[in-house]
Structure 1
Amino acid sequence: MIADGLKWMFLIIGTTIGAGYASGREIWQFFGHESGLAIVIFSFLFIICCYVVLNISYQEQTDDYSMVLSKLMGPRFAKGYDLIIIFYLFTTTGIMIAGGGAALEYFHVPFSVGIISMCVLLLIVAVRGVEGLTGLNSVLIPVLIISLTVTLIAFFLTHGGLETIDWKTQSNWTSSFTFTALNLLPLVAVLSAAGKKIKHKGEIWIASIGSGLTLGSVSFLYNESLLAAAEDIMLYEIPLFALLKTFPSTVTAFMAVLLWTAIFTTAASGLFGLSNRLRHVFSVRPWFMALLLLCLMIPLTEFGFSRLVSFLYPIYGMLNLYLLVVVVIHPLFLKRR
């Protein structure tokens, strides 16, 4: 049970830590100054959301997100949010592919070559289905989390450590709702395919609590690090590199590789959730649907990584607030029945 619970936990983290999160761009976009309380609230909301989605998926034995949406908000609203999820997954997976191309530019790989390479690897994972996705995350995500945490702690040690937080002046606490809402749609899309694979309800608790506490802790460390390097962030396409500018080049290269893996795992999750939904609509093989989607996403990457994140992520965060409210209050309605 514990091993399976950790498998789902890594899937959740791998779905969440993508180009926007791992690069620091997403955290800087939503948090920043006076955001300690916001990150604490985000952790609790995230645990609740993961539990509710996984529990519905487990009870209904789902293999795509349409049934989960229907259970959460009814058939009528579910159809509307189905379209939003499709558009969201399409654009954010395109953002991940653009982020992958941007990360490889550190190694002087042309942007177009990085895009094509990533698409080929994504297609390979898509062919293997959910087993390939969970296997990929079980290997890569622990390495990513440990390496990112060690890097952030090392940054603090060289910059005087953490500053004292005044919990009375946490004016940015409302950003926790939009940040959680932003990350909720991919969770619904990906975790809804896990229903038939979950064997015990204890797996849901392990995955939900573990992922919420892990992401909350890393988010706090990352945000405080970015605050310490705030003057340099505007000079970098990827904020993480602003933190690494005083580190040896070998460390920066290693983190660039890890950043690319984080981007890749989220792109794989997004592509899986989207192709798994649409293949039922168009009755085609999963690999063909994934290939078609990748071909359609490539033009989107021309807009650039940071521009896509700064423009689309706040919009999606606001649009998804209704879904967040529905997910959080869902257990209350169950108790009344």
Structure 2
Amino acid sequence: MSKNGASVFKIAAAYIGTVVGAGFATGQEIFQFFSQFGFPGLAGLFAATVLFIVFGYMIMEAGQRLHAHSHFEIIHYACGPVLGAALDYIITFFLFGALSVMIAGTGALFAQHLHMPAVLGNGVMAAFTAITVLSGIHGVINSISFVVPFLLAAVFLTGILAMLQVPPDLFAAAPAGSGSGLVTNWPLAAVLYVSYNILLSLAVLGPLGANVREKKTLLAGAFWGGLGLGAGGAMIYLALSGHLAELGGVELPMVYLAAKISFPCQILYTVVLVAEVYTTAVGSLYGFVARITKNRHPASKTAATLCTAAAAFCAGRAGFANLVGFLYPVIGYSGIILLAGLADIYLWRKK
């Protein structure tokens, strides 16, 4: 970062990168949250895009004002001491859970599409994530902003090629039972989708906002970040819509479509996807360690980073789709508390 803080590009890329991990880029999140509703799912994605822009800016602006070092300062500011304390524990737990999901997703990629042991993928992701987090916040932001353009390019290229093979069916809905039973309609899906992703990105966006001087830079970064998330989500939705009957038991829908296009496309998407899963794992591990080692000696942060990565490696053996289908909606309901607190501050309490 420069002395004036992060650029609009780095802010937008960091925002996108902390959200588009294993769940988003594989298509599993879009499939479970929006594809089950058919055409109204697109309305849900549009609503989610607007919410990403609004709440992304709120979090970064709060981080700037509070000089946030982790999510702790922002949730206490938005939710007060009682709800803030409860949400603090939930977010900290979720950061570990999200890290486990990323590690599980890497294992699934290695097993299904690179024909390597899942445990090898789990171990590689845990190791590289820990090494990056040990380099500090600058290493985290730089690693995320580098990978994001390649991920979005891969999503759009694969999506377009898939739609050229099989045209999108805007009115198709995923087979009954494919989505999470905790998400019952598209407006709720939009809110839950944003709320749990906001909880995940909070760990990076808060400290990032503290490193930016001008609010207009934060606003532009939030706008382009939210728009990028919405555009990528819409492309995945459209690409999947022509194949929904085939995807009920598929853990990695977008990689499945890439494999149907060609073997080189499958390998390319898999490699880019592993890199993007890595960026979200980095954000999750950084946020978790920053919170549990608040105001402690740097040596304790090193030990916490290594121990947390090892524990997430073990938890990631539970399986990818199971974690996305259960953990994310549950945390999404908790995240509504934070969204409500932020909205209350910016609409009524802010002076």
- Structure 1 length normalisation: TM-score? 0.93
User: Is residue 315 of structure 1 aligned with residue 321 of structure 2?
Assistant: no
User: Is residue 297 of structure 1 aligned with residue 312 of structure 2?
Assistant: yes
Q: State the Cα distance separating 1:316 from its structure 2 match.
A: 1.3
The amino acid of 1:332's aligned partner reads L
Contact 2:159 2:235 in 1 (8 A): yes
Task: Summarize the Cα distance change of 1:334–1:152 in structure 2 as closer, same or farther, 3 Å threshold.
Answer: same
Tell me the SS of whatever aligns to 1:87: helix
Partner of 2:176: none
Contact 1:5 1:202 in 2 (8 A): no
User: Is residue 280 of structure 1 aligned with residue 283 of structure 2?
Assistant: no
Partner of 2:123: 116
User: Is residue 21 of structure 1 aligned with residue 24 of structure 2?
Assistant: yes
Partner of 1:199: 213
User: Is residue 223 of structure 1 aligned with residue 237 of structure 2?
Assistant: yes
Q: State the Cα distance separating 1:282 from its structure 2 match.
A: 5.5
* Equivalent residue in structure 2 for 1:175, among 186, 189, 214: 189
Task: Summarize the Cα distance change of 1:247–1:12 in structure 2 as closer, same or farther, 3 Å threshold.
Answer: same
5+ residue gaps, structure 2: 173-184
Number of residue equivalences: 331
C-alpha separation in 2, matches of 1:257 and 1:270: 20
Partner of 1:44: 50
Q: State the Cα distance separating 1:2 from its structure 2 match.
A: 10
Tell me the SS of whatever aligns to 1:38: helix
Partner of 2:204: 190
Q: State the Cα distance separating 1:162 from its structure 2 match.
A: 6.5
User: Is residue 71 of structure 1 aligned with residue 71 of structure 2?
Assistant: no
C-alpha separation in 1, matches of 2:324 and 2:117: 21
Q: State the Cα distance separating 1:163 from its structure 2 match.
A: 4.5
User: Is residue 256 of structure 1 aligned with residue 259 of structure 2?
Assistant: no
Contact 2:196 2:331 in 1 (8 A): yes
Q: State the Cα distance separating 1:284 from its structure 2 match.
A: 5.0
C-alpha separation in 1, matches of 2:142 and 2:114: 27
**Identity across matched positions, percent:** 25
Task: Summarize the Cα distance change of 1:334–1:21 in structure 2 as closer, same or farther, 3 Å threshold.
Answer: same
Task: Summarize the Cα distance change of 1:107–1:198 in structure 2 as closer, same or farther, 3 Å threshold.
Answer: same
User: Is residue 143 of structure 1 aligned with residue 150 of structure 2?
Assistant: yes
Tell me the SS of whatever aligns to 2:261: coil
The amino acid of 1:232's aligned partner reads E
C-alpha separation in 1, matches of 2:171 and 2:110: 37
The amino acid of 1:113's aligned partner reads L
Q: State the Cα distance separating 1:39 from its structure 2 match.
A: 0.8
Partner of 1:168: none
Q: Which moved more, 1:152-161 or 1:208-217?
A: 152-161
Q: State the Cα distance separating 1:317 from its structure 2 match.
A: 1.5
* Equivalent residue in structure 2 for 1:5, among 3, 8, 11: 8
Tell me the SS of whatever aligns to 1:160: coil
Tell me the SS of whatever aligns to 1:46: helix
The amino acid of 1:313's aligned partner reads Y
Task: Summarize the Cα distance change of 1:56–1:184 in structure 2 as closer, same or farther, 3 Å threshold.
Answer: same
User: Is residue 326 of structure 1 aligned with residue 341 of structure 2?
Assistant: yes
Q: State the Cα distance separating 1:164 from its structure 2 match.
A: 8.0
